[in-house]
Structure 1
């Protein structure tokens, strides 16, 4: 997974459509209000930094390939 994430990526991970949309909206609000990036104040933009979504969820979304199968 890259450094950004979109609604469809979240749906593929198992989140429901509305949950994915809400997470993207929350991440965009954080980017605009807290991180002062007006670029994300755009209705058509649906891709946000993965670390912002991870901070909302409180879990890492990146799979660690090194830990599997030793």
Structure 2
């Protein structure tokens, strides 16, 4: 499973505030799906599938994890 952080989204062209908002919404989505682990303020990464669901587009894993 590929995880996405705020910094990954910024590298894709999203602004700092917009990146934080996307991560926050993805965490809320994961909690609503029953994954209580994401109900943590300090957690800063979410599955790529959650981000894709929020944005409505498919992200390529190679673009997200260039440093991995």
TM-score, length of structure 1 as denominator length: 0.83
Q: Which has the higher contact order (CA 8 A, sep 6+)?
A: 2
Structure 1 unaligned blocks of 5 or more? 65-70
Equivalent-residue separation in structure 2 for 1:57 and 1:30 (angstroms) = 12
Hey, which of these two has a bigger chunk of helix by percent? 2
Aligned equivalent of 1:67: none
TM-score, L = length of structure 2: 0.85
Q: Which runs of 4+ in 1 moved over 6 A?
A: none
Q: CA RMSD in A?
A: 1.5
Larger-Rg structure: 1
Instruction: Tell me the matched-pair count.
Output: 62
